[in-house]
Amino acid sequence: MQVIQWLADHGHQVRVLTGGDAMQVLRDRGFDIFEIPQLRCCYRADGTLARWRTIRGYGPRALGLLFGIGASFRQVAELVDEFRPDLLISDFEPYLSRLAGMRGIPLLAINHQHFLIESVLPPLTGWRKKLSLKLHQLGISLLVGQPDRIITSSFFHFPRKSNSRAVFVGTFIPDRLGRLEVRRGDSVVVYLKQPGLARYLVPHLAARPHRRFLIFSDWRGDPPENLPGHVRLAPIDRERFLWELARCRALVTTAGNQAIGEAIFLGKPVLAFPEPGQLEQELNALALDRSGLGESFDIKRFSAETWDRFEARETAFRANIERHMRSRRPFDGRAEALRAVRRFLRETGSGAGHHRRDGVAAREPAGVSPSSLAPPFPADEGGGHAR
C-alpha cells in the first residue's frame, strides 16, 4: 500500500491489478483498480491443506499461466497491454510476473515468499520435506519468473545466498499499529485462519482457566460449543485483531510472517504452528525458534503442557524482543524497502521527473471488518504506552 501511495504522490500513473478483499480496501483510497483472477489454496474441513483439490481446481489456470494461454491470462494481458507500463511491481502475483518476462517489462517483486530461493535455508529432515522444497523453488521459478529486483520482507532472515540480488528488509508495519496504545494484559490472542484447526487447540486451552483466550477465525460453519468463560470466539476482523493484540500478553497463531512480525513489533511473544502441509510456514516456524522471540509447535501434538512450557519462557522471550527492537537495524522494513524501490526506479529510468508510467500490482488482499461474535474481554489493568 505504501509503495503504491508513494508512486502516486510522486506523479506516476498507477494501475492496480488485484482481487479478493483488497478490491474494496484499495478502491477506498481512490486508486485505479482492476480485478484479476486469483490462485488460492483449498483446505479441508479440519483446516489442513487439500493439495489434490487445489491442483484440480487451479491446475488448468496454472498451466495457462505457464504457457501464456487461457481466458484468465488474456484478461490480465489485455489490461497490461492497454496501459503500456514502463515497470511492473508485484508482490507474489504470478500473472504480472509472467507477463513481465514475456513483454520485456522490468519487474520488481516485493514479498516474503522469495526467501525460499534467495536464502541459505536450514537443512530439512526427511525426503518428503526436501522434495517439497525443491518443488516449491521450481514453482516459484516457473510461475513468478526471475524478477529484475527482489525485496523480501520478514521478521527474521536466514543468511542471504552469495549470488542473491534480493534486498532483505523487516516486516511491513502498518501506520495504525504504531499508533496503538500497548499494554501487557492478561488475555491471549489466538489467530486461526482455518477454523477447523480449533479442534486441536480448544480442549487444551479450556484446561487452563487461569488465562483468558480470544480466538479469531472465520466461524462460518459450526463454531465450537459449550466453551468455558475464559475461552471466547471472534470473527476475523483486522481492526479488532490489532486492538486486542496491542493489549494482550501473547499471540498463538499460524506461522504466517505478517502476524508474527506485528506481534513482535508490539512486544508480544509468539507461540506459532505451521499449517499442515505449508512448507513456507514450516520455515517461518524454524525462523521463530532461531530468533528467540517465541517458539513453534506441531498443531496435531498441542497439549496443555505445550502452553505451560511457552508460558514459563514468556519473560525470556519478552526480554529478547526488547533487545531485538533496540538493535541498529529497524524492525519496520517499509523505509528500507522504499529506498530500494527508488533506486530501482532510477536504474530503469522510471524515476520521478521522467514522466513515465508505472503499472503496479497490489498486495495480497487485506482483511475486512465484520461484526463481532463476542464482546472483547474487559480492559486489562496495568499501565499503557504508545509505541
Amino acid making up residue 11: G
Integer CA distances (angstroms), 385 to 180, 188, 213, 314, in order: 8, 19, 23, 20
pLDDT confidence bin for 328, thresholds 50/70/90: low
Q: Choose between 276 and 322: higher pLDDT.
A: 322
pLDDT confidence bin for 44, thresholds 50/70/90: low
pLDDT at 279 over 60: yes
Which pLDDT score is estimated for 364? 32
Which pLDDT score is estimated for 141? 84
pLDDT confidence bin for 362, thresholds 50/70/90: very low
3-state class (DSSP) for residue 301: helix
Which pLDDT score is estimated for 291? 96
pLDDT at 98 over 70: yes
Residue 251 phi/psi, 5-degree rounding, is -120, 130
pLDDT in tens, 114-153: 999 999 999 888 888 899 899 888 888 877 878 999 999 9
Query: What nine digits make up the cell of 42?
Result: 483449498
Which pLDDT score is estimated for 320? 96
pLDDT in tens, 198-224: 999 999 999 999 999 999 998 877 788
Please state the length of the chain.
387
308-330 burial by CB neighbour count: b if 16+ within 10 A, else e? eebbeebeebbebbeebbeeeee
pLDDT at 257 over 90: yes
pLDDT at 387 over 60: no
Which pLDDT score is estimated for 146? 84
| Residue matched to cell numbers 489442513 | 48
Averaged over 374-379, what is the pLDDT?
Answer: 43
Name the residue among 47, 357, 382, 21 with its Cα closest to residue 220: 47
Which pLDDT score is estimated for 367? 26
Which H or E run contains 314?
Answer: helix 314-325
Q: What average pLDDT does the chain have? A: 83
How far is it, in rounded angstroms, from Cα 376 to Cα 233? Answer: 9
Q: Choose between 120 and 93: higher pLDDT.
A: 120
Which pLDDT score is estimated for 59? 64
How far is it, in rounded angstroms, from Cα 97 to Cα 36? Answer: 13
Contacts 24+ apart (CB under 8 A), 72-80: 72/36, 72/37, 73/98, 75/36, 75/37, 76/17, 76/36, 76/37, 79/15, 79/17, 79/34, 79/36, 80/17, 80/105, 80/359
